[in-house]
Structure 1
Amino acid sequence: MTTTTEATTVYGRPEFENVDIGDTMRDGHPDITDGDLLIVDLVRKRAEALGRALTVMDVGSGSGVVSELLARGLPGHRVIANEVEPHLIAQARARMAAVPNGEVFDRPFQEWSEPLDVVISWGSHHHLPNTYLDHVRSLLGEEGVLIIGDEFCPEYCDEADTAKVAAADVIHLADGLVLTTREEVAAYEADGTVPQWSRDLEDKRRRALWHWYKFVIDYAMDKDNWTVVLAELQITLDDLTTTFHEEHKLSPVIVQRDLELNGFRCLTANVIGNRPVDLQSFYLWEFAPTPRD
């Protein structure tokens, strides 16, 4: 992914150092708690199907809310919270210290080398470099799964966009603009050329996001949760800045195609939140690695 903006996400900023953002978001943001419960249920079903103890890693675990839920709900299984922000690591350690089968890995995910049965990317996928998917594939066995749940951009691809994405031989972000062929990537790298379709698609993304963030911020205000209001206002700015690569929510259609191109097949798909499509942001998928040639 190419970017021209260097900054950090809102969670790494000093004003949030003394806030358990995991707890706070679950109070003032829609759909997250429902996603927590669904993840625990999916992992439990996976354990029952395989009939053995699992090693589960929660990548980008934040303060460890869902990691703790998994460890408590699946006491016979190893659960690892993975986080790199120092104050979030401290919060995750405090949570996981209360469960004997829980632990914290406080280095980048790419430095983990032991096999895993389940990798969870809950709210982390759109923050991580795409190379993390290669590492997931290297760690999962034939029975392993990747669970991706995230706050994506509500769907903004129309029928023609969806057809173009389905035919893509690559999903590449060039300063935040989506390219779908190797020829487009080569042209961009040669002289900065970007197709008009990519620019038009970004305009659709930003408009869809603005509609979503207004809903989320109003939801937090109704809950009288000003921490979430202020965090989401900053996240809105980050996400609407096309070149800000650490906060760039994409269409679910684009994300699914990217996963396919990176060697994963979808086993289950869930939408969280019983609302119109333009206010559906949380999707939760279970992927298995496709066999290597």
Structure 2
Amino acid sequence: MYAAVVRSFDSSPKYEEVESPVPSGEHEALVDVLAAGLHLRVRAQANGSHYTSTDELPLIPGIDGVGRLPDGKLVYFVATDTALGTFADQTIVDLRRAVPLPAYADPVLIAAAMNPAMSAWVTLRRRVQAKPGFKVLILGATGNSGQMAVQIAKLMGASQIIAAGRNPERLRSLTQLGADVTLSLAGDPAAVARNLGEAAADADIVLDYLWGEPAAQAMLPILTRRSDRSRLLTWIQIGSVAGADAPIPSAALRSANFQIIGSGQGSVTPAGYLAEFPALIQAVADGKLTANPVVYPLSRIEEVWKTPADSQQRIVFVPHNK
């Protein structure tokens, strides 16, 4: 079979012929890969920078995908915790990590949407109890996951969605996805923080895909402008595009009913993620959540890897024989 193979964390994957894998465990099966998305998490896996990296090489990247089981059933699946990922003609699937797809589901759309949608979906269902009518600030709303978060917050009954990001064109497009207020994060950091404080003073939840200085600078302006400081504000750290560390002001933790939590691998159990897959898959398959997939054959992995992905699109690879 053919696969994308990473042999050095300093170089892009190469399209190579490799031996087909053989299932060995009780719950394992060989799956024909139909589509697999190039997510930010996959890029971090391939360069060894993700916090779950084991530094094992060579590896086949790809963390999830849509495939066909030997009995013909289509499934969405999450890759096993090995160096054998989903950017290949075939891979090994742990059947306990696989969910059947509706017959009408588009494999490419599912592969494009599931990973970026998963963070906000699981966060709002598993890390907090988001009740209809909640107000949310999304920091980093112009990224792939942030754009999904806007749609998911709307779907889950948010009464106000404040979307903040840097790209002006994408920021404007978020109103069509459900954002009530859009704010630019470009410009003077102090002015940006003040604007966030005014707009998000009564938020219940912050979905933070940025972290770093933008998060730290926004906390006090938001908290000090709250009409009721005893009303809980839950700040959820999901991504760290703006920096792995944030100098949190100590006054933020004392001046209001304020908590900071994280959401990601480890903070939610694998069983918790798996339990959310069917409803999320259904929402994507039914068109309640939209993505803009662009399809490439896996054989073009080196070329596509070097091209920055447009946040308005989701790159999906399909094996050469599909």
TM-score, with normalisation over the residues of structure 1?
0.39
Larger Rg over CA atoms: 2
Instruction: Determine which structure has greater relative contact order: mean sequence separation of CA pairs < 8 Å that are 6+ residues apart, divided by chain length.
Output: 1
